[in-house]
A and B are shown apart, each in its own frame.
Chain A
């Protein structure tokens, strides 16, 4: 399918309006179709009390097939990137998170459990003051 030019936001994600309409039509036809076929077929092979339940199940199966089919026809529009969002620069980090590096350092030094966790993650020394500041 061609890439659409315009997108709309539905439930927090961008979709193509045309694709959405077609997807709903395909899924609904398969779902209701499954249910109605079940209503015709199951009286021949199943007990009377189970006809409705089995038909419902066939209808839902239709919906799931619709999901798989639509996932193949309409590729996702969303863009997935895999960048590291971590900020490596300590100064920038301190500014973005609005924290006091000295206080952070004190807490890390006072709490051995947290210190060990951060050490294992390699972020213990992120807020370590420079040599000059330590003596103040």
Chain B
């Protein structure tokens, strides 16, 4: 099979799979994208097709996650939280479907601006690659402090860097004793499913569970359907007004450079800056929504492409979260041997474009035409219990694949500690990933491990 065909097939798989996952409200990006991307990599898929798969997954998840946000007023994932106020206003006006259309049209524009801009910027930054690779350990340690400080816990996250690094290196030593090889995926998965696992632990604890006990089921209110365009494929450029197109493009352009900042933070910042001068509830809400969803796409794409193409080491919140397997997925990829080293700039361009175009062609008409029906189906027939069961099982299978029982133990130890630190003290997953990368250097410098 030619490599283009393989890339196309995996882009379609990524697009379909993540179009559906995006509809599951509250689905965490890291917890869903890390296991599936790892799976594709470990199956031995060619690197270029892995990249197409990932790009298709990013764009399609970020188009369909607009559906629960706009139609039910619950965030599709953490990045959608800044959009809630504006979707709520449009829901009250009785036009939630307009919120949805504006959002995903903004998303498509954001993606196709961020992709070339971030590739060019990465080319420029690539001149400094030697410096970055020489001081990787120190850079990770400094970045860990910065990212920890900007996580919810602020100083407590900074304070816990060394203890968490010691935990990771300790587990690393134990598993090396048993398996004679270093585990990496097991650590990743542990950090990724930490928040989900800690919820389960809290629910199981007889002293802590009173915080999560509810006496009645969660109620979701779905807005009624109003279809107001003809044909199958509404043109995204015609849904937005000219000022909306221009603002969305500008915000996507700017956020293509700010790859070290939090994607959620950039989404809120760009939306509020560009939206602040606009008056009128309908005009302000629709414009802000198209800008914000454009930025959720552009930050995700730029934060993956810039560190990957320029340095090959994970130096952005995205690269430390959902995109982590592209940088490090032993035995296939490591920070010295990953997509950065295996693909040329032209390949990044061509196979990235395949992923984005295929993903957009699947998700965009799907959201426009079927998102409401699909949301109803998932809400009515697929229980949260079944979804939790699936993710825990996938994590067990992949951890077992890497390190048998030891792998599973490492994953759930990291998930228990990391998850509770995340939930209770606000040490974010990004900070934990960064500590993981910096831990070897930190422990060597501190105690000569």
For B, the interface residue count at a CB cutoff of 8 angstroms equals 66
- State which of B94, B385, B397 has its C-beta within 8 Å of the C-beta of A31: B397
Q: Cβ of A59 and Cβ of B401 under 8 Å apart? A: yes
- State which of A6, A20, A76, A83 has its C-beta within 8 Å of the C-beta of B381: A76
The dominant DSSP class at the A interface is: helix
Given A52-B401, A81-B220, also A24-B91 (CB < 8 A): no
**Measured CA separation A84–B282 after assembly (Å):** 18
Q: What residues of A have a CB within 8 angstroms of the CB of B25 in the complex? A: 12-13
Q: Cβ of A60 and Cβ of B397 under 8 Å apart? A: yes
A128 interface contact, C-beta 8 A: no
Q: What residues of B have a CB within 8 angstroms of the CB of A7 in the complex? A: 213-217
**In chain B, residues 198-222, which have Cβ atoms closer than 8 Å to a Cβ of chain A?**
199-200, 203-204, 209, 212-222
Q: Cβ of A80 and Cβ of B386 under 8 Å apart? A: no
Q: What residues of A have a CB within 8 angstroms of the CB of B73 in the complex? A: 85
**In chain A, residues 67-101, which have Cβ atoms closer than 8 Å to a Cβ of chain B?**
67-68, 70-71, 74-88, 93, 96-97, 99
Q: Cβ of A82 and Cβ of B222 under 8 Å apart? A: yes
A107 interface contact, C-beta 8 A: yes
B376 interface contact, C-beta 8 A: yes
A129 interface contact, C-beta 8 A: no
Nearest CB of chain B from residue A4's CB, rounded to whole Å: 10
Q: What residues of A have a CB within 8 angstroms of the CB of B214 in the complex? A: 7-9, 14
Q: What residues of A have a CB within 8 angstroms of the CB of B224 in the complex? A: 82, 84
**In chain B, residues 216-234, which have Cβ atoms closer than 8 Å to a Cβ of chain A?**
216-224, 228
**Measured CA separation A85–B94 after assembly (Å):** 7
- State which of B213, B242, B394 has its C-beta within 8 Å of the C-beta of A113: B242
Given A67-B389, A103-B279, also A15-B384 (CB < 8 A): yes
- State which of A63, A75, A107, A118 has its C-beta within 8 Å of the C-beta of B397: A63
Q: Cβ of A113 and Cβ of B241 under 8 Å apart? A: yes
Q: Cβ of A70 and Cβ of B385 under 8 Å apart? A: yes
Q: What residues of A have a CB within 8 angstroms of the CB of B388 in the complex? A: 10-11, 15, 20, 23-24
- State which of A10, A67, A88 has its C-beta within 8 Å of the C-beta of B200: A10
Q: Cβ of A60 and Cβ of B215 under 8 Å apart? A: no
**Measured CA separation A130–B24 after assembly (Å):** 44
Given A63-B393, A81-B219, A86-B92, also A107-B283 (CB < 8 A): yes
Interface centre among B91, B95, B215, B389, by most chain A C-beta atoms within 10 angstroms, is B389
Closest residue of B by beta carbon distance from A54: B43
User: In the complex, which range does the number of interface residues on chain A fall in?
Assistant: 35 or more
Interface contacts (Cβ under 8 Å), in number, total: 231
Given A27-B393, A28-B393, A107-B279, also A86-B384 (CB < 8 A): no
Q: Cβ of A74 and Cβ of B386 under 8 Å apart? A: yes
Nearest CB of chain A from residue B220's CB, rounded to whole Å: 5
Q: Cβ of A75 and Cβ of B390 under 8 Å apart? A: no
Closest residue of A by beta carbon distance from B398: A56
**In chain B, residues 367-394, which have Cβ atoms closer than 8 Å to a Cβ of chain A?**
376, 379-390, 392-394
Given A19-B385, A70-B385, also A118-B282 (CB < 8 A): yes
- State which of A8, A64, A99 has its C-beta within 8 Å of the C-beta of B281: A99
Q: What residues of B have a CB within 8 angstroms of the CB of A86 in the complex? A: 91-95
Q: What residues of B have a CB within 8 angstroms of the CB of A63 in the complex? A: 390, 393-394, 397
Nearest CB of chain B from residue A111's CB, rounded to whole Å: 7
Q: What residues of B have a CB within 8 angstroms of the CB of A74 in the complex? A: 383, 385-386
Interface centre among B95, B98, B386, by most chain A C-beta atoms within 10 angstroms, is B386
Q: Cβ of B212 and Cβ of A70 under 8 Å apart? A: no
A125 interface contact, C-beta 8 A: no
**In chain B, residues 74-89, which have Cβ atoms closer than 8 Å to a Cβ of chain A?**
74, 89
Given A60-B394, A93-B92, also A13-B218 (CB < 8 A): yes
Interface centre among A15, A57, A75, by most chain B C-beta atoms within 10 angstroms, is A15
**Measured CA separation A97–B279 after assembly (Å):** 13
B196 interface contact, C-beta 8 A: yes
**In chain A, residues 17-60, which have Cβ atoms closer than 8 Å to a Cβ of chain B?**
17, 19-20, 23-24, 26-28, 30-32, 34-35, 50, 52-53, 55-57, 59-60
**Measured CA separation A123–B282 after assembly (Å):** 10
**Measured CA separation A71–B379 after assembly (Å):** 11
Q: Cβ of B94 and Cβ of A53 under 8 Å apart? A: no
Nearest CB of chain A from residue B309's CB, rounded to whole Å: 27
Which residue numbers of A lie inside 8 Å of B, CB to CB? 6-17, 19-20, 23-24, 26-28, 30-32, 34-35, 50, 52-53, 55-57, 59-60, 62-64, 66-68, 70-71, 74-88, 93, 96-97, 99, 103-104, 107-108, 111, 113-114, 117-118, 120-121, 123, 126
Which residue numbers of B lie inside 8 Å of A, CB to CB? 25-26, 28, 39, 42-44, 73-74, 89, 91-95, 98, 195-196, 199-200, 203-204, 209, 212-224, 228, 241-242, 279-283, 286, 376, 379-390, 392-394, 396-398, 400-401
Q: Can you list 23 residue pairs at the A/B interface with Cβ under 8 Å? A: A6-B215, A8-B214, A10-B196, A12-B74, A13-B26, A24-B389, A24-B393, A27-B389, A28-B393, A30-B393, A31-B394, A57-B43, A63-B394, A66-B389, A68-B386, A76-B383, A78-B218, A81-B219, A84-B94, A84-B223, A85-B94, A86-B91, A114-B283
Query: Which 9 residue pairs are nearest across A and B when measured between Cβ atoms?
Result: A86-B94, A23-B389, A27-B393, A107-B280, A70-B386, A12-B26, A27-B389, A31-B393, A59-B397
